[in-house]
Chain A
Amino acid sequence: MLSFITPELIFHLGIIVAAFFALQIAAAGLVYMERKVAGLIQQRYGPYLVGPLGLLQPLADIVKLVFKEELRPKAADKILFYLAPILSATAAFAAFAVVPFGADTDFSWVAKIPFVTSLTGFTGLSHPIHLAAADVNVGILVIFAITSMGVYGVVLAGWASNSKYSLLGGLRSSAQMISYELAYGLAFASVIMMAGSLSIREIVDQQAGYWFGFIPKWYGIFPQFFGFLIYMIAGIAETNRAPFDFPEAEQELVAGYHTEYSSMSFALFFLAEYINMVTVAAVATDLFLGGWHGPFLPEWLGWIWFFVKVFLILFFYIWMRWTLPRYRYDQLMEFGWKWLLPAAVINLLVTAGFVIYLGW
């Protein structure tokens, strides 16, 4: 009866739990990083009182949010009001589930830790398992699908709050998200065409190796440079971050679709936004920056390179937010439809031409 509890299952569950908690810690770390980097860009200190260098600031934030009172406007639709943050957060977590963050490994290095083999008889798994919470072979489509579901959290939050700021913010935000999804998907399509596979793991494996011995074969460096730019711009617009964050700008719309939310519901929206950022950065790393391949480290430590690259992209995200002014809403929509979408289509056509005629 208990024969299905194999070491593979245990390690797989361990990977799922690790990914889940890593996301939450990443969100907390992003909260700190955002405020510290913002402070340094603006030539002030940022948080430095709570804990050494202010590192416990996210903990203080979370405790504050949990202790706040949970409010709900009386005329708000009760089911929808509480469903919206749940949808947002669920979509954010689910999208990261199909992103692989390391090479296939059979955990034989665990057996090299002293006492493990003698205590449990474990000498490595019988076959390598994937380092992802759920590795499917149409991974890119799943990410795209779940990102499309993230729109619902925003639109329902705007509607269910029964307030004009929320409704306007929600409608604008969701219209922005679905407009930039097109360029997002076309950037994916170019990469899929080059790699010939829908599985993210295979796309990363095609980026191993070097040209001329020292330029890594990442898609973001040579063949898909513009694809990478288009993807990053569309990703920033998808996650409603500056300079595309008009719908939740404090100066314009109070706080947009999450005006009426407080305490844990607000924390869920907050969490969803940061985890969406992490997912966009992780997918960009896998598709355009070679994933877990990097010099100097052995294959089974590739996830360290993955984290370094994701960290760099997130730093870039935060840097952009505090450096660039934001787009006005009509400028934003015009940019998405009239400039980014044709650019993505042209990128796709050029890639298709190269794939057919040069056989890449």
Chain B
Amino acid sequence: MTLSRKCVPFTPFDGELSKATVAIVSAGGVHLKEQEPFNIADELGDLSFRVIPDDADTSQLMVTHHHYDHADADSDINVVFPLDVLRDLKEEGFIREVARKHVGYMGYTMQLKAMYEGTAPEIANEIDRGSRADVVVLTGG
């Protein structure tokens, strides 16, 4: 196995989870039904992402991704995009708040450099601007 030569971009977390606001960023191809689906016809992949608001009704979320079997996510989106689960953790006081914005994108791409240097910092900026997230949970498919 060949590891990336880039160093691990480690940011420590010095706070307490019970005081933290948490966002979800998923490579599982999740988006709202009313949003434009990811382009699975392009063999190079789709470098775009969708912003999902904190009050999203999870029954209105769906998956557009052709590189994993998302039948389980189709029946319960929380298996790849745990927004209801995060709401539960807020209710039980494990975290303080669900972030105002979350992000879905389609992790499969043949354009790794564009994903790493373009999409990834754009997603980070999106989360940084106005989501109020202290920490981010990343999920794939």
A joins B in a complex: no
Using a CB–CB distance below 8 Å, which chain B residues touch chain A?
none
Using a CB–CB distance below 8 Å, which chain A residues touch chain B?
none
